[in-house]
C-alpha cells in the first residue's frame, strides 16, 4: 500500500494527462482570433447598429468589442460586435 505522500501509478498518469490538457488550453488561448475587423483599424467608417448609426474611426478591435472614436463629437464608443449590422468604409461612400 502506498503512503499518503506517494502517488499511485494511476494518479501519476492522471497528473500527466492533466498537464497535457492544461498546456493544450494555453496553446488555444495563444491563437489569435480574427474576424476581419482589423482591416478597418485606423479608417473612417460608418457603423450601422441595430438602433443607431455612427460615423467614426476604429481605433482598436477585440474579439467581442470595437473601440470607435466618433468624428463629429470626438467621443469614444465601445461597441459590442453582436449589435453591429455592418461596417462600411467612409471612402467608398464619398466616391
* Domain range enclosing 56: 37-94
> C-alpha grid cell for residue 58?
476604429
Per-residue pLDDT, 55: 95
Helix (H, G, I), strand (E, B) or coil at 14: helix
Res 37: pLDDT: 77
Query: Does some domain include residue 27?
Result: no
CATH number, position 82: 2.30.30.100
Total structural domains in the chain?
1
> What residues in the chain have per-residue pLDDT under 50?
none
Rg of the chain over Cα atoms, rounded to whole angstroms, equals: 24
32 within a domain of the structure (yes/no): no
Residue 84: predicted pLDDT? 94
Grid cell digits, residue 67: 473601440
Instruction: Give residue 72's pLDDT.
Output: 85
Give the pLDDT confidence score for residue 75 in this predicted structure. Answer: 95
Contacts (Cβ under 8 Å, ≥6 apart) of 15: 7
86 occurs within a structural domain: yes
**Residue 23 falls inside a structural domain:** no
Residue 48 domain-assigned? yes
Amino acid at each position: 500500500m502506498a503512503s499518503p505522500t506517494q502517488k499511485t501509478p494511476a494518479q501519476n498518469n492522471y497528473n500527466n494527462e492533466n498537464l497535457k490538457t492544461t498546456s493544450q488550453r494555453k496553446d488555444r488561448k495563444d491563437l489569435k482570433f480574427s474576424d476581419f475587423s482589423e482591416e478597418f483599424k485606423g479608417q473612417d467608417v460608418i457603423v450601422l447598429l441595430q438602433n443607431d448609426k455612427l460615423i467614426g474611426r476604429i481605433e482598436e478591435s477585440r474579439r467581442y468589442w470595437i473601440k470607435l472614436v466618433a468624428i463629429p463629437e470626438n467621443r469614444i464608443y465601445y461597441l459590442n460586435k453582436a449589435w453591429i449590422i455592418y461596417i462600411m468604409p467612409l471612402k467608398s461612400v464619398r466616391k
